[in-house]
Amino acid sequence: MNIIDIISKTKKSQQLSEQEIRWLVENFTNGNIPDYQMASWLMAVCLNGLTDKETVCLTLAMRDSGDILDLSKINRITVDKHSTGGVGDKTSLVIGPIAASCGVAVPKMSGRGLGHTGGTIDKLESIKGFRTELPFEKFAEIVNKTGFSIISQSGELCPADKKMYALRNATGTVDSIPLICASIMSKKLALNADCLLLDVKCGSGAFMKTREDAEHLARLMESVGTAAGKKCRAMVTDMDSPLGANVGNALEVKEAVELLQGKVKGPLYDVCISLAANMLELAGKGTINECTALAEDAVRSGRALAVLKETIELQGGDGRVCYDTGVLPKAEFSHVIRASRDVHISAINSEEIGMASLLLGAGRISKDDDIDPTAGIVMDCAVGDNISMHAPLMTLYSSRCSDFSEAAMRALNAITFKDI
């Protein structure tokens, strides 16, 4: 086998064998295939795609490039959840504690964000003292005690994906559904939970802009998970508008806590309950209706909030955040955007809200950038609202940026108005 033949076959839409794909992944990961040749193959995949069988083979080869976790020390059935990401997506902070309080173990490894908002790890690190880098033994101990823990991804998991993703990001080959599937699923399968729920976001603030693409990715990810022997389910959820009112790291932790306190209803609550119920059904806790009732009771009773508090404290964080969100870091500067006339909100472009939050410091352009944990946007309006002249549309926050003019213009342009 050689890389030239493999590039040529993919360029001609000829199917690669499992042996060829494993040889490709192994030799690229080990440094025997240079970046420029791998980039050529990745571009051929972007242009011509891969068959479902090739995608399964690629995913498993990437999974097998590093460690596969042994979760046998965890004494409950394990369920992992992955979201393809979006603006204001703090669901992991909510549904993990809900599922754990209903008897399921949720061991989760997450990453830091690259782009307009932070990742789950960035959000958690806005809690004073919270440690995301823990030895596996400590991670398993916390999961056994509370049912829930989130730590940062280990460098030992999926080195092939880490190397391939960096190259895809540098060569404009990120937007390929088979490559997206292999990247996500290789890491999820390496974590090795019993069950896997996949939340595929669709809309302006998601990577999948169209329903058709989102459903294609969801079907492919589900089939890969099933082929790997996991109980796997993919759901397509909306990301045309920001998920919830708060965008930005500490702001999103605040909203997640307030939801578990019973103060937040609406679309964010509905999505979280739906996702948690599907996790519980996958884990054998009952029908979807029974699991929905379990999830709702976990919030109503305060059991889910208690799980979050205990987990935060076991990971070194300030558990007071669960009854006093005022302990979260606060922005030094703020700016209120108000309606200039009476208007009806007909659309909110999630991606543009996310880009405005990036300008405030809530995200990072390169992986080495520092995030301002206080930065972000709180939406005071939602699609369908009628807003009176001078009423607030949103509030911008930052400790790094005192001139809000550019971010405010971008955020305001994200809203589509109709006069009333």
Q: Which residues are catalytic?
A: 82, 161, 168, 183, 187
Q: Which residues of 55-81 are buried (b: 16+ CB within 10 A; e: fewer)?
A: bbbbbbbbbbbbbebebeebebbbbbb
Please give the helix or strand (H or E) that residue 326 lies within, else none: none
Residues 6+ apart with CB under 8 A from 212: none
Cross-strand bridge partners of residue 202: 208, 238
Please name which of 58, 42, 109 lies closest in space to residue 224, comparing C-alpha atoms. 58
**Burial class for 365, CB neighbours closer than 10 Å (0-12, 13-18, 19+):** exposed
Half-sphere exposure of 84 (CA within 13 A, CB side): 30
Query: Beta strand 106-110 with 392-398: parallel, antiparallel or unpaired?
Result: unpaired
Q: Please give the Cα distance from 54 to 59 (Å, whole number).
A: 9
Q: Give the Cα separation of 69 and 73 in Å (integer).
A: 11
Instruction: Give the H/E segment covering residue 318.
Output: none
Q: Which of 89, 27, 283, 46 is nearest to 182 (CA)?
A: 46
The answer to whether 362 touches 247, Cβ cutoff 8 Å, is yes
Strands 195-202 and 231-238: parallel
Taking alpha carbons only, the member of 278, 285, 291 closest to residue 80 is 278
Q: Strand, helix or coil at 310?
A: helix
β-partners of residue 236 are: 200
| Closest to 296 (Cα-Cα) out of 91, 93, 102 | 102
Q: At 119, which helix (H) or strand (E)?
A: none
Pairing state of beta strands 333-338 and 392-398? Answer: antiparallel
